[in-house]
Amino acid sequence: MPERPQALFAMTAENMPLVFPPEVLARLRESVDIDPALVAEDLTDPVFADVLARTEILVTGWGCPRLDAAVLDAAPKLRAVLHSAGSVKGFATPEIWRRGIVVSSAAEANALPVAEYTLAVILLAGKDVFVRRERMRAERSSPGWGVVPGIGNHGRRVGVIGASRIGRKVIELLRPFDLVVSLSDPYVDEAGAAELGVPLVGLDDLLRTSEIVTVHAPETPQTRHLIGRRELALMPDGGVLVNTARGSLVDTEALVDELRTGRLSAVLDVTDPEPLPADSPLHDLPGAFVTPHLAGSQGNELARLGLAVAEEARRVVSGAGLACPVDYAGLDRTA
């Protein structure tokens, strides 16, 4: 059997066994020599100096320390950084790419549970489940078996903001349902939208014509408060805003004002600020359904991230190209 290249975990120690349970760790160790007892939360700690000097593949995750020039100097054999989570922005520096080190992310694997969450809440929002549940809780009564006008998912118009990995998966998951889906994304052209099977519209038109709007754009300086007071005012009465991206994309104060009128409702898995302060009105407004950042990989879904890294490690060792490379040139347009 050929010698396996040296690898090292660089993440929060408590997360490693969750992302790499025994069966996933075994898959990873088929390709690399990696010690699960060595998990570096600080790559400048002398205890890791010897193994870091021999490391060819760094397996990163939540809590990975910053990979700056000094750290990379201590890892002269490093040729791949395989991230077992979504964004690498928190720790990756341009120096990684300058040195020709390839970078991979499990963002594709993490996109699936977010898209599944989004699909679920869109279908429930179409039935007005969230608002009517709160109404039942408050009134302690049920309207009975009568037909409820205005609800349902037959031809419901859904607008997707952002053709990110998650946005694309949401579009894919929505396809079997009797919904009318449109997309707004400044980096997608008509041909690209046609490949996704949806019409491309401007943001204002999407907001005006969509009964449910779901946000999947990246967090950048340009997207801060992408949905502000003016944009919320464009949404039709009874509209629902779904945000599983980042809280800063929505102007929280403007959203609270709209929710107080009862004109709109919102399903928020992310907030600004996050975590949500105890005195935030979003906790009590009947039109706000807030979950504590659950849409991304949780529980048994974490193993999917580890499996994605194990597959990337196999590809690196075999000489195949990465399945999910991170391109530095496009980093400013990704999450």
Catalytic residue among 225, 274, 301, 333: 274
293 is catalytic: yes
Assess contact for 253 and 277: CB atoms under 8 A: no
∠ CA 281-282-287, nearest 5°, is 115
Count CB-CB contacts under 10 A for residue 188: 19
CA 257/CA 118 separation, integer angstroms: 24
Catalytic residue among 27, 156, 165, 246: 246
Q: What is the DSSP string of 200-216?
A: B--HHHHHHH-SEEEE-
Count CB-CB contacts under 10 A for residue 207: 23
Catalytic residue among 225, 293, 314, 333: 293
∠ CA 201-245-162, nearest 5°, is 20
> CA 234 → CA 120, 205, 224, 263, distances in Å?
25, 9, 18, 11
CA 249/CA 52 separation, integer angstroms: 38
Residues in the chain: 335
Assess contact for 326 and 105: CB atoms under 8 A: yes
The torsion defined by the Cα of 81, 84, 89 and 90, in degrees rounded to 10, comes to -100
Q: Mark out the alpha helices in the chain (DSSP H runs).
A: 16-19, 22-29, 49-54, 69-73, 94-98, 107-126, 129-139, 165-174, 190-196, 203-209, 229-234, 252-261, 302-318
∠ CA 113-115-116, nearest 5°, is 60
**Residues known to be catalytic:** 246, 274, 293
